[in-house]
Amino acid sequence: MRTNHHLSKSLLVLAITTAFPTTLFAQDDDAASRIKSLELKVQQLIDQRAEQDKQIDVLTKELVGISNQVSQSKIVKSEEKGSSKGNPVYANFKEGIKFEDGTGNWNLQFNGRVEADYRAFSGDDGNPDTWSIRRARFNTQLGLFQNYLMRLEIDHSAASTRLVNAYVEANWWPQAKFRVGQFKTFKSLENSTTDTYSDFLERSLAYNTYGDDIYERGAMVYGTPFKGSTYAFAVTNGTGQGNDEALGTNQSKDGKDVTLRATINPAQWAGWSQSVTHLGGWYNHGIQATASASASQTEARGVNFFAPATFTGDSVERTRYGIETALAHGPVKLQGEYDVSNYEGTSAATTGTGASAARAYDKDIKAWYAEAMWLVTGENYADSYKDGQFGRILPKSNFELNKNGWGALELGLRYSKFDASDFAVDSNGVCSNATTVRNLGDGTITPVGTCSGGTFKNAGGIVLGSNEADAWTLGAKWILNPYIRIMMNYVHTKFDTDINVNGKLSDKEDALTMRAQLDF
């Protein structure tokens, strides 16, 4: 090191001598003095730099020591908290708020949705215009060791809080996942697709054929046996949401409901990434102590235009089935379904005036719909399709103020038809010629004495209901981002006969419905 310092001094002296040769030769003594002075200053600078290097080295060691102490303290605190042994917890936001340990041992996910609706009906005598909370749900989901799942979902939108999903699941293989508890049984494409991603505010008139057992208690196995295919097989009570099966006084068999659904998507086999060619079908069969075709409401959630009587007599055999298809390419989708609900059994004999003997019945409710959808902003329906149903639409650019993003715009048109002409109206009444008639409880009406026919009315002369209806729905949807949607539908419903709406007769319903929806 000393040799280097001496060399540095010599080079400095040489540089000064070269730069000022005349002056130095003229004044040798003065130059020698200056060189001595410069050497001293250079030495001082070198010494100062060495001291600074020592100080920096000391400070660096102190900083490393403090950092190690902090890290060790964090580890100790993590170990003190329990079995996590200091493993970090990760959080992310995708299809909900999700926490996980990073090893697959556990994860905890929270989801929710709020759908705020406004419905306006034409005419002052019809249904009242109203604001409503269509759904307000909170979902908790716990996953354990990658293959096990528990889900609990509550709906707070009704007058009382309702249990929606409550089940445990084992996901050992993609081809066979096992679910036990209360869950949605898969009946048709429209039913299987969650309302969060629905094409319109409400499902079609065909949805009325499913009855009140959208959510059931039982067991199910489902999965994807091979690429582009799905299936689901469930055995349930058949008694509807939140209900166990109870002993019926007129129940001859303890019959559980059996539900099967299967779908294929040949476009996936062919590698058509921009297309969907969905084909599927479903079947449901069960025997109930008592049963009734569900009351049917318009797509605008206006009037209940069809309310059949509860079947009487011995056990009711209920069979429901349907076929479905969806063809999509790029931003265009065509979708349709045809569903049938059949009720078969023997009515109970009546007593008293106008009594009738027991009789067999075999009645159908048939319904179908067809729709066309267009993503005006060019998103691809195939991107949202997975495992036999359509999911979340991701806009090409999210809507943001002061930026160029406008979200996604979707337009749609749907026609649906409901036909329950096998059923008569639901209560005792009179024919239009004022002859008294009696409802036998199995959906048939027989005259007490004679009845020349005509429109069935109640004792006050009000028409009891309509067995057939069709509806046109025009929809517009603004998807601001993947989690926020604003929707507007115009719904025109036509009934085959006049129905009672607040004491007045009408053969149609016109409604404008709107929704603001946020889910996470």
Residue of 444 and 378 predicted with greater confidence: 378
131 and 47, same domain (yes or no):
no
290 and 418, same domain (yes or no):
yes
131 and 71, same domain (yes or no):
no
Residue of 39 and 408 predicted with greater confidence: 408
Q: Which of 61, 80, 99 is the last residue of a domain?
A: 80
The lowest-confidence range among 62-66, 294-298, 422-426, 439-443 is 439-443
Record the tokens describing residue 78, joined without a space. Answer: 């993590």
Residue of 39 and 479 predicted with greater confidence: 479
Give per-residue pLDDT as tens, 128-160.
899 999 999 999 999 999 899 999 999 998 777
375 and 395, same domain (yes or no):
yes
- Residue 451 is predicted with a pLDDT of 40
Q: Could you tell me the residue range of the domain that residue 453 belongs to? A: 90-519
In degrees and rounded to multiples of 5, residue 396 shows phi and psi of -60, -35
440 and 392, same domain (yes or no):
yes
State the pLDDT confidence band at 307, using cuts at 50, 70 and 90.
confident
Burial class (CB in 10 A: 0-12, 13-18, 19+), 441: middle
**Which is nearest to 389 in space by CA: 196, 218, 213, 233?**
196
- Residue 457 is predicted with a pLDDT of 46
Sign of CA dihedral 223, 225, 226, 228: negative
- Residue 294 is predicted with a pLDDT of 72
Is 439 domain-assigned? Answer: yes
408 and 375, same domain (yes or no):
yes
Q: Which of 80, 103, 131 is the last residue of a domain?
A: 80
C-alpha distances out from residue 453 to 269, 434, 457, Å? 57, 10, 11
Q: Which 3 state secondary structure label does DSSP give 28?
A: helix
Residue of 290 and 103 predicted with greater confidence: 103
- Residue 427 is predicted with a pLDDT of 41
Residue of 353 and 475 predicted with greater confidence: 475
- Residue 225 is predicted with a pLDDT of 96
State the pLDDT confidence band at 86, using cuts at 50, 70 and 90.
low
Give per-residue pLDDT as tens, 481-512.
999 999 999 999 999 888 777 767 788 999 99
Q: Which 3 state secondary structure label does DSSP give 148?
A: strand
- Residue 44 is predicted with a pLDDT of 81
Q: Is the pLDDT of residue 5 over 60?
A: no
In degrees and rounded to multiples of 5, residue 338 shows phi and psi of -135, 125
104 and 48, same domain (yes or no):
no
Distance from C-alpha of 240 to C-alpha of 25, rounded to nearest angstrom: 114
Record the tokens describing residue 56, joined without a space. Answer: 């920096």
- Residue 495 is predicted with a pLDDT of 92
Distance from C-alpha of 135 to C-alpha of 162, rounded to nearest angstrom: 11
Is 85 domain-assigned? Answer: no
Q: Which 3 state secondary structure label does DSSP give 177?
A: strand
Q: Which of 80, 105, 135 is the last residue of a domain?
A: 80
- Which residues, other chains included, contact 355 with Cβ-Cβ below 8 Å and sequence gap of 6+? 349
Quick check: 78 and 89 in contact, CB under 8 A? Answer: no
Record the tokens describing residue 65, joined without a space. Answer: 């020591």
Which whole number is the average pLDDT over 184-194?
92
419 and 481, same domain (yes or no):
yes
- Residue 312 is predicted with a pLDDT of 73
Q: Starting from the edge strand earliest in sequence, which strands make up the sheet with 445-447, in order?
A: 429-430, 436-439, 445-447
Distance from C-alpha of 276 to C-alpha of 326, rounded to nearest angstrom: 7
64 and 130, same domain (yes or no):
no
- Assign residue 247 the CATH number of its domain: 2.40.160.10
**Residues of the chain above pLDDT 90, percent:** 51
For the ranges 33-47, 422-436, 464-478, 497-511, the one whose mean pLDDT is highest = 464-478
Give per-residue pLDDT as tens, 190-241.
999 999 999 999 999 998 887 667 899 999 999 999 999 999 999 998 888 8
Q: Is the pLDDT of residue 380 over 90?
A: yes
Distance from C-alpha of 468 to C-alpha of 425, rounded to nearest angstrom: 11
Average predicted confidence (pLDDT) for the chain: 82
C-alpha distances out from residue 153 to 100, 212, 221, Å? 20, 18, 20
Q: Is the pLDDT of residue 454 over 50?
A: no
72 and 154, same domain (yes or no):
no
State the pLDDT confidence band at 290, using cuts at 50, 70 and 90.
low
Record the tokens describing residue 190, joined without a space. Answer: 């429209």
97 and 56, same domain (yes or no):
no
- Give the CA dihedral 348, 351, 357, 358, nearest 10 degrees: 0
Residues forming beta bridges with residue 488, ordered by sequence position: 476, 514
The secondary structure of residue 402, as a DSSP letter, is T
Residues forming beta bridges with residue 136, ordered by sequence position: 114
Q: Which 3 state secondary structure label does DSSP give 389?
A: strand
Q: Is the pLDDT of residue 6 over 60?
A: no
In degrees and rounded to multiples of 5, residue 268 shows phi and psi of -70, -35
Q: How does strand 389-390 pair with strand 385-386?
A: antiparallel
Q: Is the pLDDT of residue 253 over 50?
A: yes
State the pLDDT confidence band at 341, using cuts at 50, 70 and 90.
very high
- Residue 305 is predicted with a pLDDT of 85
Residue of 23 and 280 predicted with greater confidence: 280
State the pLDDT confidence band at 450, using cuts at 50, 70 and 90.
very low
**Which is nearest to 430 in space by CA: 412, 451, 414?**
451
Query: What's the number of domains the chain is made of?
Result: 2
291 and 420, same domain (yes or no):
yes
Q: Which 3 state secondary structure label does DSSP give 88?
A: coil
